[in-house]
Structure 1
Amino acid sequence: MKSSENAPKIYVGTYGMYNSGSLFGKWFDLTDYADAKEFYQDCYEYHRNEFDPELMFQEWENIPDFLISECSLDDKVFEYFQALDEMDDDTAEAFKVYCEQISSWPANGKALSEQVDSFQESYRGYFGGSMKDAKIEYAYQYVEDTGMLANTPSVLERYFDYDAFARDLFLEGYTEVDGYVFADY
C-alpha cells in the first residue's frame, strides 16, 4: 500500500458487544495482512473472549463501499489493493471510479485481471483541467488526437461546434464521471 496515511483500515467489533451497548473493538490495518483468511484469524483472535463472535465492521477508512459492508468484506479486497499499488495515484483513483460506477466490480463476476484489462481499454484520461466541462475538454482532445479537422482550413475550423460534438460523443460511446472519461465497451 502506498502510505500509512491512506491505508485501508477497519474498526472491528462484534454484534454481541454492540447489542450489549458496547462499541468495544479495534482498528485493523489491512496492510498488515496478506489475505482475508489471515485478517479474519486476527479478528477472531482479538474477540476470543466471546464464545462465537459475529464480527461487525463498525467503521472503515480508505476502502470503497463496493468492497465492504457492516457484516462482510469481499475476499477480493486484498487483490484490489495490490492492483492499486501497481498504479500511479491518478490511475488508481480512475480505477476505483471504473469499478464502482462504470463496471460494477466485483458484482460483474470478472476476475480482477479481466477488470484491469477492461479498465485499461476503456480509460481515456482525466479531463478536469482548464475547461469548465470535462466532456468538452475531452472533445477537443479527441478531435486533435484523431486529426478530425487536420485538413480543414483554419478559417472554417473555428466554426466547429465542440459543445454539440461533445454532447453527441457522450450520448453514445463515452461516459464521464468526475472528470474521468471512459469509452463504453
Structure 2
Amino acid sequence: MKSVENAPKIYVGTYGMYNSGSLFGKWFDLTDYAETKEFYQDCYEYHRNEFDPELMFQDWENIPDFLISECSLDDSVFQYFQASDEMDDDTAEAFKIYCEQISSWPGNGKALDEQVESFQESYRGHFGGSMRDAKVEYAYQYVDETGMLADAPSLLERYFDYEAYARDLFLEGYAEVDGYVFADY
C-alpha cells in the first residue's frame, strides 16, 4: 500500500455496542495484515469482551466502496491493493474506476488476474488535458493513431467533425468516466 497517509483503514465496532448507544471501536490499519483472516482475528480479539461480537464497520478510509460494506470486507481486498500498488497513481485510479463502474468487480466473478488483464486490454488512457472534453480529445487521438484521415487531402481533413465522431464512438464501443477512457470489449 503506497503510503502511510493513504493507508486503508477501518473503524471496527460491533452491532451490540452500537445498539447499546456506544460507538466503541478501534481503527485498524490494513497495512498491518496480509489477508482478511488475520484482520478478522484481530477484530474479534479486540472485541473479546462480547460473547459473540457481530462486527460493524462504522467508517473506512482509502478503501473502494465495492470492496467493503457496513458488515463485510471482500476477501479480494488485499490482492486488489497489491495489484494497484504495482501501478502508478493514475493507472491505479483508472483500475479502481474500471472495477467499480465498468466491469462491476468482484461481483462479475472474475479472478483478480483476469480482472487486471481485462483492464489492461480495455484502458485507453486519461484524457481531458488540452481540451475540455475527454471524449473529443480521445477521438483526435483515435483518428491519428488509426490513420483514418491519412489518405484524405488536407483541405478535406479540416472539415472532419471530431465532436460528432466522438459522440458516435462513445455511443457504442467506448466508455468515459472522469476523463478515463475504456473500450467496451
When normalised by structure 1's length, the TM-score is 0.99
Structure 1, unmatched stretches of 5+, are: none
Partner of 1:169: 169
Q: Is the aligned partner of 1:26 residue 2:26?
A: yes
Q: Deviations over 1:24-47 (max 9, x none)?
A: 000001011000000001101111
Give 1:153 shift. Answer: 1.6
| Paired amino acid for 1:32 | D
- SS of the equivalent of 2:5 reads helix
Superposition pairs of residues 31-70 of structure 1, within 5 angstroms: 31-70=31-70
Tell me by how many angstroms 1:154 deviates: 1.3
Q: For residues 64-118 of structure 1, what are the alpha-carbon distances to aligned partners after superposition, in whole Å with 9 as ceiling and x for unaligned? A: 1111000011011111001011111000000000000000000000000000000
The residue type equivalent to 1:110 in the other structure is: K
Letter in 1 for 2:174: Y
Moved over 4 A (4+): none
Cα distance between partner residues in 2 of 1:182 and 1:51: 49
Q: Which residue does the alignment assign to 2:179?
A: 179
CA positional deviation for 1:147:
1.0
C-alpha displacement at 1:130, in angstroms? 1.3
The answer for the alignment partner of 2:3 in structure 1 is 3
- How far is the alpha carbon of 1:51 from its aligned partner? 0.9
Aligned to 1:72: 72
The separation in 1 between residues aligned to 2:182 and 2:138, in whole angstroms, is 10
In 2, distance between residues paired with 1:109 and 1:81?
Answer: 18
Q: Please give the TM-score of this superposition, normalised by the length of structure 2.
A: 0.99
* Aligned match of 1:148: 148
Quote the RMSD (CA, aligned, Å). 0.6
Q: Hey, what does 1:130 align to over in structure 2?
A: 130
Residue equivalent to 1:94: 94
Q: Is the deviation greater in 52-61 or in 145-154?
A: 145-154
1:5 is paired with a residue whose SS is coil
The one-letter code matched in structure 2 to 1:35 is E
Residue 118 of structure 1 aligns with which residue? 118
- Aligned AA for 1:51? F
Identity %: 88
* Runs of 5+ unmatched residues, structure 2: none
Question: Once the 2 structures are TM-superposed, how far is the Cα of residue 128 of structure 1 from its aligned partner?
Answer: 1.8
- In 2, Cα distance between equivalents of 1:18 and 1:138: 49
